[in-house]
Amino acid sequence: MKTIIYHNPSCSKSREALNLLIDQKEDIEIINYMEGKLSKEELIDILNKLGVDPEVLVRKSEKIYKESFAEKNFTKNQWIDILVNNPILIERPIVVKGKKAIIGRPPKNIIDIL
């Protein structure tokens, strides 16, 4: 079974998580979600596997969050659309294996689903 990592190569934590997967000799599929947009369906699937609401994935330290989304209330569907259209806001890395997913912050968290 492949282990999927939703990866942002410019993120040090994401690189650490990828290296951890390589060290564990996992069969890895790397998805650079910053280059190719994550579809709404893919994001919903990830959220279901994580068992969290979309707002949990929002990186609130990002400039775009502070400028456009802070202090505002959005529905779950609106947050999903916001994340799909602004992938920089998605917490990373996210690792999926089978029916489980985990946010790899810190990267050692991903060991729990391997």
Give tens-digit pLDDT for 82-114.
999 999 999 999 999 999 999 999 999 999 999
Q: 3-113 has which fold?
A: Glutaredoxin (3.40.30)
Residue 13: how many CB atoms within 10 A of its CB?
Answer: 16
Catalytic residue check, 11: yes
In angstroms, the CA 62 to CA 55 distance is 14
CB 91: neighbour CB atoms within 10 A?
A: 20
Quickly state the pLDDT bin for 36 (edges 50, 70, 90): confident
Q: Which of 11, 57, 83, 103 is catalytic?
A: 11
Q: How far apart are the first and last CA of the chain?
A: 10
Cβ–Cβ < 8 Å for 52, 80: no
Is pTM beyond 0.95 here? Answer: no
